[in-house]
Amino acid sequence: MEMVAGYGSLFRHRQYLLHAIALGAVAGFNFSYIAGAPQLFIELRGISPQHFGIIFGLNAFGLIGSSQLNRKLLRRYTSEQILNFTFTVNLLGALLLTLATMTGIGGFPAQLTLLFICLCTTGLLYPNVTALALAPFAASAGTASALLGTIQYTLGATAGAFVGMFHNGTGLPMILTMTCCAVVGRIAIMFAQPPKSIQDPSIGVIEAEA
């Protein structure tokens, strides 16, 4: 019962839940890409499996590289500042990617570039969303982390499944699902920001322990 009560208190913690939704949206963004990229590149664009592996690897390298950059950024900016900027870039990139896919503007190079930019942003989003979600729960970090991971991968897998469900022989199911995830993530993180009057860290700890 104590464990159930612990999970229940997490679901009632507004900021934690919103950060969890935002993290799930980031996971959904990447899961959608993983689910739809082979069709977009190999079937629709005629990229060979060997070259697709190179493209996939470069995008993964960008994601990992941006996550390493996060350490340096945190010396100058707060996690909240990084998230606000990066989620905005992620959303704008996804919207431009949708436009490029639907209109053909810029062709394949535009799609490739925008995908790379969007995926790089997720390398900054993952660690900062996670840090803010878990920050108030030092005394119950294990429970908070377990639930956060469950929500993250559940929402991520759901988004990936949507790509397959709405398969129509084009790249739009993947792109639109990624864009929806970007919208959800940006909105969630916007409402997760506490009012300035209660940004005292000690208040967050008290609320988390209540």
Confidence of residue 138 (pLDDT cuts 50, 70, 90): confident
Q: What is the pLDDT of residues 37-91, one digit of tens each?
A: 999 999 999 999 999 999 999 999 999 999 999 999 999 999 999 999 999 999 9
Rg of the chain (C-alpha set): 18
In angstroms, what CA-CA distances link 14 with 18, 31, 86, 135, 177? 6, 25, 22, 14, 25
CA angle 191, 81, 92 (to 5 degrees): 75
| The pLDDT value given to residue 195 | 60
Domains in the chain, ordered, with CATH? 20-42+49-191+201-209 (1.20.1250.20)
pLDDT digits (tens, 9 = 90+) for 151-204: 999 999 999 999 999 999 899 999 999 999 999 999 999 999 876 544 444 434
Closest CA to 145 of 153, 83, 168: 153
Measure the CA–CA gap between 102 and 12, rounded to whole angstroms.
40
DSSP 197: G
Q: Which residues contact 73 (CB under 8 A, 6 or more apart)?
A: 82, 124
